[in-house]
């Protein structure tokens, strides 16, 4: 569903009445996101800044036809929020909260798969179709329509890369922050087919980091796609954490290595074997991407 999002997609915001909900709803609407409804537990709210507010997702969906949701709720409330959205028929849920209990994340993942839905999160800045809409708080300054699809564990690094690409005259076709938690919804490999089949995408940028095995899984999926002659788009990658010290905590909860899996070496080797161009710095990645697409 991510690849079909547009300015016309009706979106529901769960938790719209909170300070962060109001602020981010205003930012998303200003960018073009079609927020048609919100939910809040308060009985005294009929609307917020012109957006109708309902007590639950079922009432909101019935009244507005919303098909996607972004949940601005605390970590402990994410599980209940996603379940409520799924029961109302929502098929894309974005949850930005960091620190969702692992047990809850596992339960959310099972519920999403059983419903045939898509979950982006937790601990994500969101996603965007530049020039159309965004779900989350990706900075407008880094968003520009163009041919490069971005998938990233790191919000901050992807903002910088997106901004640099935009300054060089290359914008983005799709942008998905998968988050840095060990248990989450959409992972890099899940985005490969949508990115490869997306008509406006000419190249893919992957922003990874040490820990976990997402990059290795992506490499395996890309190699399989190439074997079937489906991978005709160049992939560029940068892996954060090359200076990370063994045994020292680094940023995201999912930045964990296990033996030879999840290391800088294992990720780089797997990606390069699958044909990905891996760079030590974002400057080199951007320069090579621009040269490749404009050459």
Phi-psi region of 229 (alpha: psi -120 to 50; beta: other; left: phi over 0): left
CB-based burial label for 247 (10 Å; 0-12, 13-18, 19+): exposed
Reply yes or no on whether 265 is catalytic: no
Q: Where are the beta strands (DSSP E) in 210-282?
A: 235-240, 277-279
Q: What does DSSP assign to residue 169?
A: T
Kindly list the strands in the beta sheet with 126-129, ordered across the sheet, starting from the edge strand earlier in the chain: 133-136, 126-129, 172-177, 145-152, 203-209, 235-240, 277-279
Taking the CA atoms of 144, 145, 146 and 149 in sequence, report the sign of the dihedral they define.
positive
Instruction: Residue 140: count other Cβ atoms within 10 Å of its Cβ.
Output: 13
Helix (H, G, I), strand (E, B), or coil: what is residue 52? Answer: strand
Active-site residue (options: 24, 103, 252, 265): 252
User: Annotated catalytic sites, by residue?
Assistant: 252
């Amino acid at each position: 569903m991510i690849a079909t999002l547009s300015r016309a997609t009706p979106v529901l915001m769960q938790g719209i009445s909170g300070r962060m909900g109001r602020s981010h709803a205003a930012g998303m609407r200003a960018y073009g996101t079609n927020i048609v409804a919100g939910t809040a537990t308060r009985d005294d709210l009929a609307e917020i800044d012109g957006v109708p507010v309902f007590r639950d997702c079922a009432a909101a969906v019935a009244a507005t036809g919303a098909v996607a949701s972004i949940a601005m709720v605390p970590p402990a409330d994410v599980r209940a929020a996603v379940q409520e959205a799924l029961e109302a028929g929502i098929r894309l849920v974005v949850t930005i909260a960091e620190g969702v209990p692992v047990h809850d994340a596992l339960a959310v993942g099972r519920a999403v798969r059983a419903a045939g839905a898509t979950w982006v999160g937790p601990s994500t800045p969101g996603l965007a179709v530049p020039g159309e809409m965004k779900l989350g708080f990706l900075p407008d300054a880094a968003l520009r329509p163009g041919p490069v699809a971005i998938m990233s564990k790191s919000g901050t690094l992807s903002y910088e890369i997106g901004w640099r690409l935009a300054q060089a005259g290359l914008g983005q076709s799709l942008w998905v922050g998968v988050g840095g938690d060990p248990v989450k919804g959409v992972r890099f490999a899940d985005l490969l087919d949508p990115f490869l089949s997306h008509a406006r995408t000419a190249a893919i940028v992957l922003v990874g980091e040490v820990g976990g095995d997402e990059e290795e899984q992506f490499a395996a999926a890309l190699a399989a796609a190439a074997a079937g002659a489906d991978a005709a788009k160049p992939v560029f990658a940068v892996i954060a954490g090359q200076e990370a010290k063994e045994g020292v905590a680094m940023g995201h909860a999912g930045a964990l290595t296990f033996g030879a899996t999840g290391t800088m070496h294992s990720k780089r080797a797997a990606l390069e074997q699958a044909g990905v161009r891996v760079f030590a710095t974002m400057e080199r990645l951007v320069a090579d991407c621009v040269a490749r697409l404009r050459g």
